[in-house]
Amino acid sequence: MLCSACGKQVDDRSPFCSSCGAPVARVASRSKNPIVIIIVAVVAVFGILIIGGIALALVTPNLGKARMSAEEMSAIHNVRTICAAQVQYYLLYNRYATSLSELGPSSDGKPGPSFADLIPADLAAGAKGGYTYRERESGQIWNNRTQDFFLR
């Protein structure tokens, strides 16, 4: 190694130059061993994968619960829509609709007692969002009409 002040040769173990007495600036030598670099990289990748796996394991159940909750809220909204449509149908035609198709839209676009256009076509068909909706007679009388909604 050379002295930075005078340029003369300095012993590698000496902290000062033997010629001029200047302190020797030591440069830390870097490891040029590729095995060490590869091992560090592999350990870092595995560390990241383990942390990601733990995070995924913690988050995944919550995503399933959130999705189920959203689907259930959508089904509840659809049942409320059907109930509100039945009230509107009763006010318009002085009777309750006997099927969901009576609450749905008509093919010619003109509403009437057969197709009142109060609910969307997919809900009037009886299926929406993975749920099946149907109206049927139950035997319980309410305003001279027996009616129930069933959700499957």
Give yes or no for residue 151 having a pLDDT over 70: no
Would you state the structure tokens that stand for residue 22, as one six-digit string? 């200047």
- What is the tens place of the pLDDT at every residue in 90-134? 999 988 888 888 999 988 888 888 899 999 999 999 888 888 888
Separation CA 147–CA 135 (nearest Å): 7
Total-model pTM: 0.54
The residues, ordered by sequence, that sit 6+ positions from 123 with a Cβ below 8 Å of its Cβ are 78, 81, 82, 100, 104, 133
Q: Which pLDDT score is estimated for 11?
A: 79
Q: Are 47 and 54 in contact (CB under 8 A)?
A: no
For 31-82, how does the pLDDT look when each residue is reduced to its tens digit (9 = 90+)? 567 888 888 999 999 999 999 888 888 877 788 888 888 988 999 999 999 9
Residues 77-102 as b/e (b if ≥16 CB within 10 A, e otherwise) read ebeebbeebbeebeeeeeebbeebbb
Q: How far is CA 28 from CA 14, 25, 31, in A?
A: 15, 10, 10
pLDDT recorded at residue 146: 46
Place of tokens 């929406």: 128
